Amino acid sequence: MHQNHDINIHYITRVEGHGNIVVNVKDGRLEKCEWQVPEAPRFFEAMVVGQKWDVLHHITSRICGICSIGHTLASLKATEATFGINVSERDIKLRKLALHAENLQSHILHLGYLVLPDLMGVGSVIPLAETNPAEVKIVVGLHKLANQMSDLVCGRTTHPQRLIPGGFTKIPAKDELKKLRDALVGAWNDIETVAKLIHTLSGKLPNFTRETEFIALTSKDEYALYDGEIGSTDTKGAKVSQYLEYTNEYIVPQSTAKYAKHARESFMVGALARVNKNYSQLHKKAKDVATLFDLAPVCHNPYMNNIAQLVEIVHSWEDSIGLIDELLADNLYGAEGLNVITNTPTHQHTNTRGIGAVEVPRGILYHDYTYDENGFCTKANCIIPTNQNHANIQLDMEALVPQIMHKKTDEIELTLEMLVRAYDPCISCSTHFLKIEFKE
């Protein structure tokens, strides 16, 4: 007997923003399969035109509350590249610590609040507060610690105040860093508990693969988050200045967000891409967690992005402790000054352009600015990780639906929702309830 399914999910829940899933199957034939993004454009690239060099990072951090540190840093790096502004080794380490805070904030939020409900068969994290209060408290505690890291380095939990072109307006005191280090060391048992819990539930992640390209920053020195070149599992690497050759944005009828492609019809960015590309540079405990879940490069199961995020939680935890140790061992810490630049940098840069890139939780992020001789922005381009993933989500759905169309409609819906949630898309910074319309 042929199956008929008419699925319209408006909007998918437990993601940031508006996204629809539309699937029509008639007599066992897939007639329509679309990942739709109906969000209105937000025009940040137009918003910064005419703004001065020293305020762009404050504006563009508002693109995303979850990834505000990453947007701030990509913006700062683009401005610094334009005017030839140097950043001290100390401040680069503090910036890396800020990125780890964001990685921990976002990955813990996604796994603990948005993914665990799927694995435990409930609609949200709220029921888990009753059935699994100890585990929920651990997740909340880890999230709180990550927020405190951001508070300490950036001045507040989201939309950093202290990060500016060339340095910081204020840096943490050594005793504050020591307290943070102690708190991180004390958090290991909780991180391990979360890893073990997810491991007991990992069998509920669908076993689906579709070969694709993975793109991430790479560096010979470290697991690249703050700096590096563009790396691909399909092609040779390239400088960040060549990012347009790797994104190739285009428009599709069902989406207000742009799609992107490179060597194939789609590619994936994010935690799984980073683990696939930079696995050898993970810290030991992070590799141990990857081994626990049989995660090794190159993994083509998009649902394993959830596990890659868990691996990165452990890596960011380990690397944060190491960075703090390096900062505490620096006898000149705090004596270099704050590197605050108060005047428009000259450096004989006129009508020039700068490009900055960092890895944010959802993938590689690019900011590209052009400034005039007075330091005012004349053009901007920002390419967000989720935009780079949209085409991959679409093609994953097209490959997945024929494999599961024999199942009940509600099972298909859940599997597709879990697919989208696995990408942890940041469609915008809002959340909506789920509305499903069936046509029998």
Report the distance separating Cα 319 and Cα 367, nearest Å.
Answer: 25
First to last CA, the chain: 16
Sign of torsion over alpha carbons 18, 204, 289, 210: negative
β-pairing verdict for 20-26 and 363-371? unpaired
All CATH 1.10.645.10 domain ranges of the chain, comma separated, are 44-391
Residue 313: closest CA among 135, 110, 161, 70: 110
The contacts of residue 418 (CB under 8 Å, 6+ apart) are 118, 205, 206, 303
Q: What is the dihedral of CA 212, 277, 282, 181, to 10 degrees?
A: -90
Report the distance separating Cα 247 and Cα 283, nearest Å.
Answer: 29
- What is the DSSP code string of 28-88? TEEEEEEEEB-PPP--HHHHTTT-BTTTHHHHHGGG-STTHHHHHHHHHHHHHHHHT----
Peptide bond into 298 cis (omega under 30): yes
Residue 421: closest CA among 214, 118, 101, 208: 118
Reading the block at residue 320, the tokens are 């944060």
Reading the block at residue 309, the tokens are 């995020």
pLDDT tens, per residue, the chain with 440 residues: 458 999 999 888 888 888 999 999 999 999 999 999 988 778 899 999 999 999 999 999 999 888 999 999 999 999 999 999 999 999 999 999 999 999 999 999 999 999 999 999 999 999 999 999 999 999 999 999 999 999 999 999 999 999 999 999 999 999 999 999 999 999 999 999 999 999 999 999 999 999 999 999 999 999 999 999 999 999 999 999 999 999 999 999 999 889 999 999 999 999 999 999 999 999 999 999 999 999 999 999 999 999 999 999 999 999 999 999 999 998 878 776 666 665 556 555 655 899 999 999 999 999 999 999 889 999 999 999 999 999 999 999 999 999 999 999 999 999 999 999 999 998 763 232 333 343 44
Report the distance separating Cα 368 and Cα 355, nearest Å.
Answer: 4
- Cβ neighbours, 10 Å, residue 87: 17
Axis crossing angle, helix 133-154 with helix 188-201, rounded to the nearest 10: 130
Taking domain 44-391, whether its CATH number is 1.10.645.10 is answered by yes
**Cα 342 from chain centre:** 32
- What is the DSSP code string of 280-302? GGS-HHHHHHHHHTT--SSP--G
pTM exceeds cut of 0.85: yes
